[in-house]
Chain A
Amino acid sequence: MDAKYDLNDDSVVVIIGSGAGGGTLANELAQKNIKVVVLEAGKRHEVGDFVNDEWASFTQLAWSDMRTTSGSWRVHRDFPNLPAWIVKAVGGSTVHWAGASLRFQEHEFKAKSAYGGIQGANLLDWPITLQELEPYYAKAEDKMGVTRTNGIPGLPGNNNFKVLAAGATKVGYKGVHTGRMAINSQPRDGRGACQQIGFCFQGCLSGAKWSTLYTEIPKGEKTGKLEVRPESHAAQIEHDAAGKVTGVVYFDKDGKQQRQKARAVCVAGNSIETPRLLLLSQSSKFPNGLANSSGQLGRNYMRHMTGSVYAVFTRPVRMWRGTTMAGIVTDEAGHNPKRGFVGGYEIETLSIGLPFMAAFLDPGAWGREFTSAMDGYENMAGMWLVGEDMPQESNRITLDPSAKDKLGLPVASVHFDDHPNDVAMRNHAYKAGTAIYEAVDATRVFPTPPYPSTHNLGTCRMSENPRDGVCNKFGQTHDIKNLFISDGSQFTTGGAENPTLTIVSLAIRQADYIAEQMGKNAI
């Protein structure tokens, strides 16, 4: 029996967003018999709707609502209105993610203590430790079916991985394997095994890759406690005179304004829309936006140090065959300041199809230098470098002073500049990637600039002290007890690891906390 709540039912928890954070939180609360309404801005595309064609899929799934950008990052120059590549659909970015599921390292929760004072970096220790999160990491790995955990075998290595592994081994790296991936290597949890379809970024047609769309959400709906409303775009979170949130105003699929009352509101719109919504919700009582007594709302935007290295060989690789990512070299992920920077980075296989290679290999480039690279596509291998970037207060989300979206709401503006530590790390990573491919006789190597960000973090960060951040160790905002941050915006620092496993773990833990607080009538 599908749940359907009255708009005036103020006993429901309203979750905005249905991705790794929102979707997991929704199911976890529903399993605890708590009534949940999920407002998802995007449509509900099921597995049968996915298209294995890069541009057609991008049109179907990507968040393309207007955003503006500023700053010295190359994304501003090449993709001024596309700062991020995330999903606008039920399932959020778990629909298009690659599946990499890595735990943070212990010192990464204590980045400020571990790295010391870094000029221009707004480093801060998380208010939680690895030890506190470990039981939740374990639950998340089981929930998601992460390979190399829970007795689940690693995925087989595809051509792209074999090139990486051969080169990395020759260079002397030791931490080389096909990754800890939330992709079934054998049937599990009612979903089949990976068929190496090769279009992970376009939605998994076999369901082998974990996505809240076809795991958490239907499981939650089955309890009869969870109602998901697609094409429901949250526009404002309302509060009462005492400063408690009371409901969410949203635009429904017909463009009409609706108001869903709420006992608590959890925001999981990913790290650009979440602070945008809190800023849009400013009022006379909260003139700087909700939960912004610290002034940190929207600030400390992190996108990970990223870049790619593609290499051409004299013989075919055919890297597009199989998983987009399922291969890792972990040796550079630790903190080793002798390299000339703090924090570390992971080296992960990556493949994109011919159409996307034309767009992202070297945005703006043309002529024979570019086309000779494209001519080598069949003989290309590729990797993605993902590492810890420094939080900077000036890297932030604000409301654009003039641009408005189709609903008439001020759009998010994303400002970003690399920190010198990010640049030093990226240059080191480019050299490392080049060395790997040259060890197996690459004839030409291309360091590729960061894409529109797929990892977006930190804009409503956790802090021990309310003056340093937006929420506490449970993602509960410091200023408003019944308002929660439930996505990657919570991250105090970025770590070197892909964020999804940590987002899911935090959501499981937050559900425990919300249930406990509701049980005590504290919320």
Chain B
Amino acid sequence: MDQSRADALDRRQFLAGVGTAALIISGAAVIHTEEAWGLEVKNLKPETMRTLIKTARDIYPHDRLADRFYAVAMKSYDVKAGTDPQAKTMVEQGVAQLDALARKQHGVAYVDVGWEADRVALLRQMEREPFFQNVRGGLVVSLYNQKEVWPIFGYEGESASKGGYIKHGFDDIAWL
């Protein structure tokens, strides 16, 4: 084939793959190749969990937060899918619906849509769905209530064990 067509093919394959470079499926697990962790998925399809993790970041994107925090936030969906068939259906169908939208509008699954703005536009189309509302509402607690996340935002949490903030900078603002 001529060079420009070969270039176009490579470019498309590159763009299609870039969203999934770090999160890959291996057996029944989602593996993060860069952060070096794996999440065993017992009750949902591993592809579903990978999509959930990607969706979670797209709903509440924080560039300073590693993927593992979003994975921790989504883990409960796999746990619940093991005991609650309706919950399992909601998630699998929600992800399937999201993927269908992505294929229709971009020719690839949600996790393979390259630009965040494009994925967010797909999520906006799902905004009224119970699946989206469930994931969004759950993240408010499952993401921001992870204690490991707090220091990344600078939040220090409790102080009573240290004698209170009275001796730990309660009035130390220096720039006014």
Contact = CB atoms under 8 A, between A and B. Distances in A.
Interface of A: 52-55, 156-159, 162-163, 166, 194-199, 205-206, 315-318, 320-322, 353-355, 357-359, 364, 366-368, 370-371, 374-375, 377-378, 440
A159 B173 contact: yes
Interface stretch (B13-21, B24-32, B56-64): B56-64
Nearest to B64: A375
Interface residues of B, number: 34
Given A163-B173, A354-B144, A358-B140, A370 B156 contact: no
A316 B62 contact: no
Contacts of A375: 62, 64, 153
Given A53-B158, A205-B160, A317 B173 contact: yes
A374 B59 CA distance: 13
B169 interface: yes
B111 to A, nearest CB: 18
B5 interface: no
Given A355-B141, A359-B140, A377-B154, A52 B170 contact: no
Closest 3 CB pairs of A and B: A195-B164, A378-B154, A322-B170
B164 A367 contact: no
Interface in B144-176: 144-145, 149-150, 153-160, 163-166, 168-173, 175-176
Contact of B62 (A195, A206, A371, A378): A371
Interface of B: 59-62, 64, 120, 136, 140-141, 143-145, 149-150, 153-160, 163-166, 168-173, 175-176
A197 B155 contact: no
Contact of A371 (B60, B173, B176): B60
Nearest to B150: A354
A199 B156 CA distance: 12
Nearest to B62: A371
Contact of A366 (B136, B145, B149, B155): B136
Contacts of A156: 170-171
Contacts of B145: 54-55, 355
Contact of A440 (B61, B143, B168, B176): B176
A386 B158 CA distance: 27
B59 to A, nearest CB: 5
A201 to B, nearest CB: 13
A482 B27 CA distance: 72
A377 B175 CA distance: 17
B165 A321 contact: yes
B164 A196 contact: yes
A278 to B, nearest CB: 35
16 contacts: A156-B170, A162-B176, A163-B173, A195-B160, A199-B158, A206-B160, A317-B173, A318-B173, A353-B157, A354-B144, A358-B144, A359-B141, A364-B136, A366-B59, A366-B136, A371-B60
Contact of A367 (B61, B150, B160, B165): B61
A117 B97 CA distance: 55
Contacts of B61: 367-368, 371
Nearest to B149: A354
B159 A198 contact: yes
A45 B170 CA distance: 28
B160 A199 contact: yes
